[in-house]
Amino acid sequence: MGKQHQKGPFYYNRRQTDDHAITAKCPLVEITTSHFTVVAKSTHTFFDGNQAIFFLETASDTSTFHYRDKAPHSLFEEDMSSLSVLNPKAELARNAAALEMNISGARGLQEVMKTNLGPKGTLKMLVSGSGDLKLTKDGNILLHEMQIQHPTASMIARACTAQNDATGDGTTSTVLLIGELLKQAENYVSEGVHPRLITEGFEIAYKKILELLDTFKRTSAVDRDLLVEVARTSLHTKLHPKLADHITECVVDAVLAIRKDGNDKEPDLHMIEIMKMEHESETDTKLIRGLVLDHGGRHPDMPKDLENAYILIGNVSLEFEKTEVNSGLFYKTAAERERLLQAEREFITRRVLKIVELKKQVCGEDKSKGFVVINQKGIDPPSLDILAKHGILGIRRAKRRNMERLTLACGGEAVNSVDDLTPEVLGWAGKVYEHVLGEDKYTFIEDCKNPKSVTLLIKGPNKYTIEQINDAIYDGIRSVFNVLKDEAVVPGAGAFEIAAFCHLQNVAKTVKGRAKLGVEAFGKAFLVIPKTLATNAGFDAQEAIVKLIETYEENSTANQAVGLDIQSGEPCDPKGIWDNVSVKRCSIEACYNIASHLLEVDEEPHVWLSRLSFGFPISKAGFDAHYGPCGQSTHKEHSPGETLTWGNVMDRNLPHLASIRTVPTILANQ
């Protein structure tokens, strides 16, 4: 067989034994083997045969030659050529490959997260690059801290953490539902059902589920008992039962305390200060009906323990400060200099003496009363001496965020000037004392009258326990807040998911066409929640699901909720176990939108911008030959999925490759 001259893709069948050569005009690279010689011009030339495929790339004076024993992968088909013009290092996954990539990412994230679900869920230990440890079972913390590389899994993680920012909970359940929706859809897609039909069924099911949620929720008077049950349900999934029961009361009382009136549905949660103290046991965590400041008095002679204390909250400078306008004072003698310094000192002293006069006005000679100055700006040592001499506790440089909290907790007003001070600007606290822990000082302001700002003091023997409690308290506070806002709750323990499955099975019977398959898949996906609860509790998931469905169908006429008892594995009435309506609604919306969008993806271009990567990620095993700068030949047999780079291809020769000649070039970073 002689030489052939043709344009476009070139084909070579390795079964042929005759030597031949295929050439193109204006050659840039010539490759010679024991069977053929190729001279190519185009940016991408494909060689396709029954048993071998050859890929030739000549872009920017750089060429790559691939030799394969198997049929070409989808990345190397003609559809790749248009994308390669834009970026020669790009990859393209289409149709089934794209769907498989999305499903594998969602399923992988699901496998990591599912063991955390429920009160019987396990903890994860996160280890940072510097060796720091963190123990948690909070889905939001895991998704924030884990280094997720898969693009689909990363997108799901960001969506779920956004839900946590909006509602405070539901991240783990959302991840499980998304993974299960894609798993159920994969079963139908693999049988030839078009993903668009599945998403149409998802849309029908999504609307029906939201209607079910509105009828399944329980609306009742929001009282303290209901809030305690909701907070306990949330905290039991994050902490061990004894500690969860203890913290539940603190969380509920904290949220109720900051409500401005009995009808306040959205209290400002920033008015709950969370203070951490590595001291004593975690069961010593408590609610302070006031504030805890992380600093104390700055003078050794100041009082450390005060009762019936009047509190002056100010943003007044009690130290000498440079003026904003540049100015100078000139003196001729030392006496003049002394008079200037004395005048500056008297300016600050007059401010301090006005505070002392106010203290005498409200306290008089009564030693049972105390006086405290909490200042956002500084207090210099001479001013501290004056305050200490008159029995006043002075705290300087208080945090800005605590200024509003102090006025809400103690009453009074924050002043910016000491002129015309009156007793009406003072706050009051029943007890103010200083607590020293190692080198740290804490000032406790307690027994305030009707405080609208409180502090949750977290104690624990180590920082790991403290961080775990802190994350749990955040979720507990948000769960109570959601109940006040929604004025309704949803039965928990998997009860809503069982009801959703049974409801969608009935809906599917009324849907015509293959869209009913999407409705069925949507319903089956909800079973992942009770299944995971049963598995994490040590029971057989299938047996538990069968019992739950049978019990629900027997009581469906009475709209009876049926949940899983994680202590026995039997169906039960989930009385006292409540979930948030807003969390369920947000989770359903996120699952529907993300799963539907991922199913509709049919192309995933991946652009590789590795600065030193000369190769191309391959999904099938084979042989690759790379030649690059200065005509140097490099060959290596590689494994599936491996990216060949200039540093890892300097190995043995490729079979049948006799010689490679190329224009000497330096490969530029792309």
What residue ranges define each of the domains in the chain, with the CATH number in brackets? 4-95+607-662 (no CATH), 98-218+491-599 (1.10.560.10), 224-289+460-487 (3.30.260.10), 292-449 (3.50.7.10)
pLDDT at 314 over 60: yes
Question: CB-hemisphere CA count at 13 Å for 134?
Answer: 18
Q: What is the identity of the amino acid at 606?
A: H
What Å distances lie between residue 645 and 45, 328, 641, CA to CA? 21, 68, 13
For 1-57, how does the pLDDT look when each residue is reduced to its tens digit (9 = 90+)? 443 333 333 333 333 333 333 333 333 333 444 333 344 433 333 333 333 333 343
Q: 668 CB contacts (<8 Å, ≥6 apart)?
A: 60
State phi, psi for 352 to the nearest 5 degrees.
Answer: -65, -40
Mean pLDDT of the chain: 75
349 is catalytic: no
Rounded CA-CA distance 495/555 in Å is: 12
First to last CA, the chain: 40
Q: Each residue of 169-211: pLDDT tens digit?
A: 889 999 999 999 999 988 888 888 888 899 999 999 999 999 9
Give 654 or 541, the one with higher predicted confidence.
541
33, 62, 161, 171: the catalytic one is 171
Reply yes or no on whether the pLDDT at 325 is more than 80: no
475 is catalytic: yes
Please report which confidence band the pLDDT of residue 99 belongs to, taking 50, 70 and 90 as the band edges: confident
- Comparing 314 with 438, the larger pLDDT belongs to 314
Give the pLDDT confidence score for residue 221 in this predicted structure. Answer: 79
pLDDT by residue (tens digit) across 385-426?
A: 999 999 899 999 888 888 888 999 998 888 988 888 888 999
Query: For 376-388, how does the pLDDT look when each residue is reduced to its tens digit (9 = 90+)?
Result: 888 888 889 999 9
Angle at the Cα of 389 (from 384 to 391), degrees rounded to 5?
95
* pLDDT over 80 (residue 264): no
Average the pLDDT over 542-554 and give the result: 90
How does DSSP assign 346-394, residue by residue? Answer: HHHHHHHHHHHHHHHHHHTT-TT-EEEEEESS-B-HHHHHHHHHTTEEE
DSSP code of residue 218? B
Q: Are 312 and 355 in contact (CB under 8 A)?
A: yes
Lowest-pLDDT range of 308-312, 323-327, 454-458, 541-545 = 323-327
- Residue from 218, 246, 239, 229 nearest 480 by CA: 229
d(CA 143, CA 349): 55
The band of 620, judged by pLDDT with boundaries at 50, 70 and 90, is very low
Catalytic residue among 48, 169, 475, 565: 475
Instruction: Give per-residue pLDDT as tens, 521-535.
Output: 999 999 999 999 999
Which of these is catalytic: 48, 138, 579, 624?
Answer: 138
In this prediction, residue 629 has a pLDDT band, given cuts at 50, 70 and 90, of very low
Q: Is 171 a catalytic residue?
A: yes
Predicted pLDDT of residue 262: 67
- Between 60 and 166, the more confident residue is 166
| 235-244 pLDDT, tens digit each | 998 888 899 9
Predicted confidence at residue 310, as pLDDT, reads: 92
- Residue 80: per-residue pLDDT: 45
Question: Catalytic residue among 33, 136, 161, 172, which?
Answer: 172
- The per-residue pLDDT for range 431-488, each reduced to its tens digit, is 999 988 888 889 999 988 888 899 999 998 888 889 889 989 999 999 999 999 888 9
604: confidence class by pLDDT, cuts 50, 70, 90? low
Q: For the residues 634-659, what does the mean pLDDT come to?
A: 34
624 is an active site residue: no
- Radius of gyration of the CA atoms of the chain, in A: 36
pLDDT value, residue 19: 36
